[in-house]
Amino acid sequence: MSESHSADHAHHELGFLRKYIFSTDHKVIGVQYLITAMAMAVVGGVLSMLMRYQLAWPTDVSPLLAKVLPLSYNGGIMAPEFYISLVTMHGTLMVFFLFTAVLTGGFGNFLIPLQIGARDMAFPFLNALSYWIFLLSCIVIFAALFVTGGAPMGGWTAYAPLSALPGAAPGQGMGMTLWIIAIALFSASGLMGGLNYITTILTMRTRGLSMMRLPLTQWSLLITSILGLLAFPVLLGAGILLTFDRLGGTSFFVPAGIIMNQMPLEHSGGHPLLWQHLFWFFGHPEVYIVVLPAMGIASDILSTFCRKPIFSYRMMVYSMVAIAVLSFIVWGHHMFVSGMNPFLGSVFTLTTLLIAVPSAVKTFNWLGTVWGARIRFTSAGLFAIGFVSMFVSGGLSGIFLGTSAADIQLQDTYFVVAHFHLVMAIAPLFAAFGGLYFWFPKMFGRLMNETLGKVHFWLTFIGAYCVFFPMHIIGVGGQMRRLYDPTVYMFLQSQQPVNVFITISAFVLGAAQLIFLGNFFVSLFAGKKMTEKNPWHATTLEWTVPSPTGHGNFGEELPTVYRWPFDYSVPGEKEDFLLQTTPTTAPVTAKH
Partner 1 sequence: MADGSGPGRITASGVALAVLIVILIIVSLYFFIAQPYWFPSLASEHGRQIDSIFMAVLIVSGIAFVLVQGALGYFVARYGENGSERAAYWHDNPKAEALLLLGTAVILTVLVFMGQRVWAAVYFSDRPADATIVQVTGEQFQWAFHYPGQDGEFGRTDTKLITNTNTIGLDREDPVAKDDVVTTNVMHVPLGKAVRVRLRSKDVIHSFFLPNFRVKQDAVPGMGIEVWFNPTAAGTYEIACAELCGLGHYRMKGSITVDASQDAFNKWLEENK
For the CB of residue 267, give the shortest distance to partner 1 in the complex, in Å: 9
Nearer to partner 1, 293 or 470 (CB): 470
CA angle 337, 339, 342 (to 5 degrees): 75
Burial class (CB in 10 A: 0-12, 13-18, 19+), 526: exposed
- Taking the C-alpha atoms of residue 194 and residue 133, their distance in angstroms, rounded to an integer, is 14
- Taking the C-alpha atoms of residue 416 and residue 394, their distance in angstroms, rounded to an integer, is 10
Nearer to partner 1, 290 or 315 (CB): 315
Half-sphere exposure of 58 (CA within 13 A, CB side): 16
For the CB of residue 262, give the shortest distance to partner 1 in the complex, in Å: 5
- Taking the C-alpha atoms of residue 546 and residue 525, their distance in angstroms, rounded to an integer, is 18
Residue 539 carries which DSSP code?
-
Nearer to partner 1, 385 or 447 (CB): 385
For the CB of residue 452, give the shortest distance to partner 1 in the complex, in Å: 15
For the CB of residue 457, give the shortest distance to partner 1 in the complex, in Å: 9
Nearer to partner 1, 224 or 319 (CB): 319
Beta bridge partners of 480: 413
- Taking the C-alpha atoms of residue 81 and residue 365, their distance in angstroms, rounded to an integer, is 46
For the CB of residue 405, give the shortest distance to partner 1 in the complex, in Å: 4
CA-based torsion, 327, 329, 330, 335: positive or negative = positive
For the CB of residue 128, give the shortest distance to partner 1 in the complex, in Å: 38
Nearer to partner 1, 283 or 559 (CB): 283
Nearer to partner 1, 32 or 352 (CB): 352
For the CB of residue 188, give the shortest distance to partner 1 in the complex, in Å: 27
Q: Return all residues near 357 (Cβ < 8 A) that are at least 6 apart.
A: 322
Q: 343-375 burial by CB neighbour count: b if 16+ within 10 A, else e? A: eebeebbebbeebbebbebbbebbebbbeebee
Nearer to partner 1, 130 or 349 (CB): 349
Nearer to partner 1, 36 or 534 (CB): 534
For the CB of residue 503, give the shortest distance to partner 1 in the complex, in Å: 16
Q: What is the 3-state secondary structure of 409-425?
A: HHCCEHHHHHHHHHHHH
